[in-house]
Chain A
Amino acid sequence: MKAVLGCEYSYDVTPLLVGGANCVAPNNPSVLKCASDFADRTSIAGGLHALGIGNNGGVGGFLTNALGGNAVSGLVNLFTGQGSTADVAFGGTRGGLPGAGEGPAGRLSNGIAGVVQDSIAIGANGILNAGGEITTLAGTATTAGLTGAEYATGVGWIKFGYDAASYAAGLAGCAAGLIN
């Protein structure tokens, strides 16, 4: 494996492949961390931060990260040990996965981000069910034929799909040396 995992490589690939730990520069980030960093930079929260939104911490910063952060990178960080104690508190024991269930245990496992997402989802559900249409950047969009919850489900899935795609791009780019 030494010929394959030689010292010339930029990243610690041991999270992905067994062996070669001694031939990796000790201070270089892993491919997974590089991919997570890229995914976070290109997340909705990263874009908002680049625009100066949510940079001052507080409620604004909290909401920006809770709703716009990359869900996939958050989960991967948790399982690869790159997540901090704050990440666990933020994402809960479920790593930010929504749908933890009812009761105190469920709410606790949902983490701070999950509780915020719950509240937003319930709120959006109520608004959409009441009005039947929403105002978007392109104008007013009707949700006829869909319930508010179904519409919100689709929006959430698209967001998670974007998170998955940006993480995949980051993973390939980092492994190929295109992204640092």
Chain B
Amino acid sequence: MGRSGALTLWQQIMLDVFAPPIITAIWWLFSAGWSGLLGTSESDVVKSWRRPAMWTVLAVCYILMFGITAYAYFFRHR
């Protein structure tokens, strides 16, 4: 359990819970803007990508953040 970070474990967990949806929302904005820019917003192919891509980004963010937290708090100083 020994580590000296910026946040307590409780704060870090809160950050890990709430940050990925916000980051994914930002990704959603960027992706929507990008597809709008390219004129593919109404494309069936692009529409079929949107949800899987969003869940993938969200999952990757959660895995990364909780993985890093677990490493920092439970494995780093073993």
Which residue numbers of A lie inside 8 Å of B, CB to CB? 4, 8-11, 13, 16-17, 31, 34, 71-72, 75-76, 94, 97-100, 117-118, 121, 125, 146-147, 149-150, 152-154, 156-157, 160-161, 163-165, 167-169, 171-178
A179 to B32: give the CA distance in the assembly, Å. Answer: 31
Q: Which 10 A-B pairs have the closest CB atoms?
A: A177-B5, A99-B33, A176-B72, A99-B36, A11-B6, A172-B68, A172-B65, A168-B61, A98-B33, A176-B5
Contacts of A121 in B (CB 8 A): 34, 37-38
Q: Is the CB of B34 within 8 A of A177?
A: no
A92 to B35: give the CA distance in the assembly, Å. Answer: 19
Interface size class of chain B, counting residues whose CB lies under 8 Å from the partner chain: 35 or more
B1 at the interface (CB under 8 A from A): no
Contacts of B65 in A (CB 8 A): 168-169, 171-172
Q: Is the CB of A176 within 8 A of B64?
A: no
Q: Is the CB of B57 within 8 A of A99?
A: no
A19 to B5: give the CA distance in the assembly, Å. Answer: 18
Partner of B34, one of A160, A165, A171: A160
Cβ of A111 to closest chain B Cβ, rounded Å: 12
- The digit string for B35-65, where 1 denotes a CB below 8 A from any CB of A, is 1111110010110010001001100110011
Given A17-B11, A168-B61, A172-B64: A150 and B34 within 8 A (CB)?
no
Q: Is the CB of B56 within 8 A of A161?
A: yes
Q: Is the CB of B6 within 8 A of A165?
A: no
